[in-house]
Amino acid sequence: MTAINIVWFRQDLRLKDNPALVAAAQNGLVLPIYILDDENSGNWKMGAASRWWLHQSLTELDKSLGHNLWILAGDPRQLLPELAQTHKAEAVYWNRCYEPWRTERDRKIKSTLEAAGTPAKSFNGSLLWEPWQNLKTDGTPYKVFTPFYRNGIAGGVDSHSVISEQAPLKLVDCQQTDDKLAKLDLMPSIPWYAGFTEHFNPGEVGAEDKLQRFIETGISNYKAGRDYPALNNVSRLSPHLHFGEISPHRIWNEAESAAQFDGAAVQAEHFQRELAWREFSYSLLYHFPTLTEDNLNPRFDEFPWHHDDELLQQWQRGETGYPLVDAGMRELWATGYMHNRVRMVVGSFLVKNLLQHWHTGAHWFWDCLLDADLPNNTCSWQWVAGCGADAAPYFRVFNPITQSQKFEAEAYIRRYVPELAKLPDKYIHEPSKAPGVELAAANVELGKNYPQPIVDLKASRERALSAYQTIKA
């Protein structure tokens, strides 16, 4: 077979269970490419942490392909037709993406390719349910999670069977020089990412290892343990899933298998619900493409935010005087990740106690998270602000002190806020209430080596509730 088929890798940086790659390999030689597209992404160009991950993931993918991955930067609307013409490609294959800017771009590319006589063939390699499949009976999208989930389960997961083995490939030799990846200049100029490698191993192998470790040691206590930031009961698969180093179908199937063990069915189902929340976010952004900027609930367009650069920066640096918030923000900076329970707490603190617009939190997370995923990031911030689908009620304000106590965050705080490490458990959640003798014994000087609280929780909660009252009508 001498026909050349281009496979355009995007958010599917894997060889196994890759429908587009399998289809292309069945029809001839494969020319695999990756294009860094900063031309069409607008405000959602990849953040610094994501670029670090992409560099590592492309390195691993290129190795898996015998260094035959073509790596380019520019506008795919121009580059793909040029490549197809140069190599006389029989067809171009890709797995679908669902962010608004990508779907618009991909429609244009498909039209251009097919006008030139080159078929463009797309597949589902990223979702359990396509956004146009899991709909209400009247054809409209769900805005509440539970019926979305139940309808999806009733209809079954997308039926493509997980392909556990790598498709046999015959590859077109890559003619690029050895510095093809370095030319993308993905590595951040500030080397703050040193701690990332302690927690993550980007690439398809790393994703599989992370999944197996979770199935063996984490899923058995997932439902309760996932809320405790000091425990190891979350999968940490989110960056691997975002970059497509593993498919949701593969993860879903492993959870199904784990559910067969005694007492594991409830745990596995709860984990699968979290996968379904990801699907819900994708569906929402697909059907409401302006969600990255616009409140789903338009009443919030009149919400009286109080923008304050100093408060925002104190939150970003993890210097709020509330240890659980500070631990979360410092975990984010040090590891590119934040525990999910803590994400809700720091998000609530920003938009409700500090009254900063949810946009500011979404953009900070976008730059700092390794798993920065546009649908999840957008919908999660709208949820915590109260303006999104199935959102937290406006009056639900997470108290960082009681959350810290309830979910036993002492070890978590000691790890990421080391200046408080010597405080007894009784006071580590709220150092400002510790007696002077305890502070002195722990070498804590409030206002010097650890900040005083930047807002009063009770007063700021009341201010938030008052602000929300102004838009209820």
Q: Is the distance from CB of 371 to CB of 381 less than 8 angstroms? A: no
> Of 8, 381, 399, 430, which is the active-site residue?
381
Q: Using an 8 Å Cβ cutoff, are 393 and 387 in contact?
A: no
With beta carbons less than 8 A apart as the criterion, state whether 445 and 439 touch: yes
Angle subtended at Cα 80 by Cα 179 and Cα 16, rounded to the nearest 5 degrees: 70
Catalytic one among 151, 192, 277, 408?
277
Burial of 117 (0-12, 13-18, 19+ CB in 10 A): exposed
Residue 32, token pair as written in the block: 């695999």
Which entry of 52, 70, 101, 358 is annotated as an active-site residue? 358
State yes or no: is 132 an active-site residue: no
Pairwise CA distance, residues 17 & 227, whole Å:
31
Question: What gap in Å lies between CA 441 and CA 445, rounded to an integer?
Answer: 10
* Cβ(334)–Cβ(195) below 8 Å: yes
**364 labelled catalytic:** no
Strand order through the sheet with 4-9: 70-73, 29-36, 4-9, 91-95, 120-123
Cα separation, 342 vs 271, in Å, equals 18
Which of these is catalytic: 27, 151, 221, 340? 340
Residue 381 is a catalytic residue: yes
Q: Does the annotation mark 90 as catalytic?
A: no
CB atoms within 10 A of CB 59: 15
Tokens of 3: 């026909």
The Cβ-side half-sphere exposure at 278, using a 13 Å CA radius, reads 22
82/174 Cα distance (integer angstroms) = 16
d(CA 222, CA 226): 5
Q: What does the block give as tokens for 410?
A: 């002492």
Q: Which of 269, 274, 319, 438 is catalytic?
A: 274
Q: Which residues contact 263 (CB under 8 A, 6 or more apart)?
A: 220
Q: Which one-letter amino acid corresponds to residue 413?
A: I
Alpha-carbon Rg for the chain in angstroms: 24
For residues 389 and 277, what is the distance between their CA atoms, to the nearest angstrom? Answer: 11
The DSSP bridge pattern shows strands 29-36 and 91-95 to be: unpaired
Greatest CA separation found in the chain? Answer: 80
SS3 121: strand
Catalytic residues: 274, 277, 305, 340, 358, 381
